[in-house]
């Protein structure tokens, strides 16, 4: 959500940044624990700041929640970026894809991130901008980041992917989306099943996209 241009600029400086991060951390815990209806008074008290300070940084609870979601997604994408960097010298597409899938699943099934995702889903009708922000900073960024991983592997001749957009959806469907589906009804896949979904999903993906000469 864009900041209202009519509002004064947010406080700046090291002390203000510490307050901002304390507010975001307290809000994240409160939203996960109590849902979107948690009070700004509660968040301010947990952060050790005044309610005025909260509103100086964030003009509304929706804006604060959007920042909480964004930071949670940023953490996941930072991890994926590290994985991509480590894959730079990987000589085996199977190993690279399995490692990437494990990181994606681990990030997506983090209990706090799952709780936030389900909260976004429940509030999208009431606050459409929340859904738009989540898609931009969450799924859309994940898809773009994984597309770059596939591009790296293609450039090195380890994969042959004519349509990256389709391939990303297929890979997520094989390895990641089952977790999001079951989490929406409050359950989780067993670790052993998770491992099978990843390894078998990668094998199926490779049957489609491994270069013929590497089969």
Q: What is the dihedral of CA 49, 55, 60, 62, to 10 degrees?
A: -40
Examine the domain organization and report whether 149 and 94 are in the same domain. yes
pLDDT number for residue 7 = 61
The answer to whether residue 3 sits within a structural domain is no
Residues 21 and 72 in one domain: no
- On the question of pLDDT at 2 being above 70, the answer is no
Q: Are residues 55 and 99 in the same domain?
A: no
187, part of any domain: yes
Q: What is the pLDDT of residues 29-48, one digit of tens each?
A: 999 888 888 999 999 999 99
Provide the token pair at 184: 């929406």
Enter the DSSP assignment of 88.
Answer: G
Look at residue 200 and tell me if it is in a domain. Answer: yes
Mean pLDDT for 173-202 is 93
Domain carrying residue 23: 9-59
Q: Are 48 and 84 contained in the same domain?
A: no
Q: What is the CATH number of the domain that holds 139?
A: 1.10.357.10
Task: Indicate whether 103 and 186 sit together in one domain.
Answer: yes
Domains in the chain, number? 2
**Cβ(149)–Cβ(209) below 8 Å:** no
Same-domain status, 71 and 53: no
**39 lies in the same domain as 141:** no
Shared domain check, 174 and 94: yes
C-alpha to C-alpha distance for 145 and 121, rounded to whole angstroms = 23
Residue 105 lies in a domain: yes
* In a domain? residue 2: no
Give me the CATH number covering residue 42: 1.10.10.60
Q: Look at residue 171 in the predicted model and tell me its pLDDT.
A: 97
Is the pLDDT at 183 greater than 90, yes or no? no
Asked if the structure places residue 109 within a domain, the reply is yes
92 belongs to a structural domain: yes
pTM of the model: 0.77
How far apart, in whole angstroms, are the C-alpha atoms of residue 194 and residue 44?
39
* Backbone CA torsion sign across 15, 19, 21, 25: positive
Q: Is residue 127 part of a domain?
A: yes
Let me know whether 31 and 133 are in one domain.
Answer: no
Residues 35 and 84 in one domain: no
Give the separation between CA 152 and CA 52, rounded to whole angstroms. 48
Compute how many other C-beta atoms are within 10 angstroms of the C-beta atom of residue 127. Answer: 18
Share of the chain above pLDDT 70, in %: 94
24 shares its domain with 47: yes
The model's pLDDT over 89-131, given as tens digits with 9 standing for 90+, comes to: 778 999 999 999 998 898 888 888 888 888 888 888 887 777 7
- Which comes out higher in pLDDT, residue 116 or 156? 156
> Which pLDDT belongs to residue 6?
55
For residue 78 the two structure tokens come to 């930072």
Sign for the CA dihedral angle at 24, 29, 30, 32 comes to: positive
Give 146-159 as a DSSP string. HHHHHHHHHHTTS-
Give the model's pLDDT for residue 13: 80
Are both 149 and 105 inside the same structural domain? yes
């Amino acid at each position: 959500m864009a900041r209202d241009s009519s509002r004064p600029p947010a406080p700046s400086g090291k002390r203000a940044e510490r307050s901002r991060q304390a507010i975001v951390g307290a809000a994240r815990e409160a939203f996960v624990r109590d849902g979107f209806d948690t009070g700004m008074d509660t968040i301010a008290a947990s952060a050790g700041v005044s309610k005025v300070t909260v509103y100086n940084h964030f003009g509304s609870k929706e804006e604060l929640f959007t920042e909480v979601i964004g930071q949670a997604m940023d953490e996941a994408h930072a991890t994926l970026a590290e994985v991509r960097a480590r894959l730079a010298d990987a000589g085996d597409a199977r190993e690279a894809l399995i490692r990437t899938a494990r990181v994606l699943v681990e990030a997506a099934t983090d209990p706090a991130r799952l709780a936030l995702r389900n909260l976004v889903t429940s509030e999208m009708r009431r606050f459409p901008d929340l859904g738009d922000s989540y898609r931009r900073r969450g799924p859309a960024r994940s898809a773009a980041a994984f597309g770059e991983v596939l591009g790296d592997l293609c450039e090195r001749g380890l994969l042959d992917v004519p349509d990256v957009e389709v391939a990303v959806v297929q890979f997520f469907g094989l390895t990641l989306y089952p977790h999001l589906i079951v989490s929406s009804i409050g359950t989780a896949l067993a670790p052993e099943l998770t491992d099978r979904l990843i390894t078998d999903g990668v094998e199926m993906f490779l049957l489609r996209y491994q270069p013929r000469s590497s089969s």
